[in-house]
Amino acid sequence: MMTTRNLEPLFEVAQLAMVNLYTPKLEESIKFFEVMGMLVVHTDEEGSVYMRAYEDPYKYSMKLTPHHEAGLVKASWRATSQAAMDRRVEVLSSLPQGKGWVEPAYGRGKAYEFTSPDNHLFEIFFDVEYYEAPEELKSKLNNRPQRRPLTGVPVRRLDHMNCLAKDVDKNVAFFTEHLGFNVREYLAKEDGTKGAAWLSVSPLVHEIAFMTDGMMEKAAPGRLHHVAYWFGDPQDLEYLSDALTELGIPVEAGPLKHGVSQAKCMYAIEPGGNRIELFGDTGYLIFDPTWEPVEWNIHDAEKAIIWYGAGLPHSYFRYGTPVIEDQEITPFY
């Protein structure tokens, strides 16, 4: 079979660099991330706390902002160059989703804010501050920005995010056309639309996914399903499950293996209410420049999400942040 894909690739967004979450329980949320070996590096004048995993390259990857409810504040994408950033801003500013420039902030330079079609808030930036470990946290491993923590179950870096959407296709079109993302895998509904999609700009299967909000009749747009951190070692998921169970922090699902991405993973709800996914094995990587998106039938949604491991709980397709009162509704798949 010859390739059927002949789109000119757009290498202008490099990676998911930072995520900012709301939490109604700041101290408990900090403790949760500390169990995962993450370090508080800064607190700003608004009371937001900045944390990093030991192989995050920049100053921080997680900003926790006190608020009356959990949810996504904003996620930050790093552009591949200043010129790439300027070109993306030119496009974004011509669209209804373009919001405008924001001033330099802790850890990064000037950024341009935009929303997804479902009103999730994002920004794109290029100038960034790299993390420089204090002497006592320097690693003897030359390619590691910070020594691996010797307590807790330390995660290595931020991996991806998953957003709940009322219209997955609109979000996919926005991210592919305007930001250069590639659809890697998707759930196809009988009417030809997508129930969920996993997209990336790198060899990872996804830096962002969109899934239909199972509570869409009740939900406001812009809900978050989860943010994921990466361990690189599936055994760490067992250690973390043990630690969280000891601490009374609910493990929602897993450890298990995904069909989509083939990653080994688990989900926990941090004390503030946000769902956090932990990746053990990354799964497969994509180097084929004309990769054809992999289709899963919507009726195979459970297999797509769980290749092996216990079934998904009721909450998986319904719970997101901000949290809304659960209702008896038909799941989307």
Q: Give residues in contact with Fe ion (CB under 5 A).
A: 162, 228, 277
Which residues touch 151 (CB under 8 Å, ≥6 apart)? 37
Report in angstroms how near the CB of residue 225 gets to Fe ion at its nearest.
8
Choice between 122 and 131, CB closer to Fe ion: 122
Choice between 55 and 159, CB closer to Fe ion: 159
The answer to whether the CB of 241 falls within 8 A of the CB of 310 is: no
Report in angstroms how near the CB of residue 96 gets to Fe ion at its nearest.
28
Report in angstroms how near the CB of residue 260 gets to Fe ion at its nearest.
9
Choice between 118 and 277, CB closer to Fe ion: 277
Choice between 113 and 213, CB closer to Fe ion: 213
Choice between 162 and 321, CB closer to Fe ion: 162
Report in angstroms how near the CB of residue 170 gets to Fe ion at its nearest.
20
Report in angstroms how near the CB of residue 270 gets to Fe ion at its nearest.
15
Report in angstroms how near the CB of residue 333 gets to Fe ion at its nearest.
16
Choice between 61 and 162, CB closer to Fe ion: 162
Choice between 108 and 160, CB closer to Fe ion: 160
The answer to whether the CB of 249 falls within 8 A of the CB of 294 is: no
Report in angstroms how near the CB of residue 30 gets to Fe ion at its nearest.
22
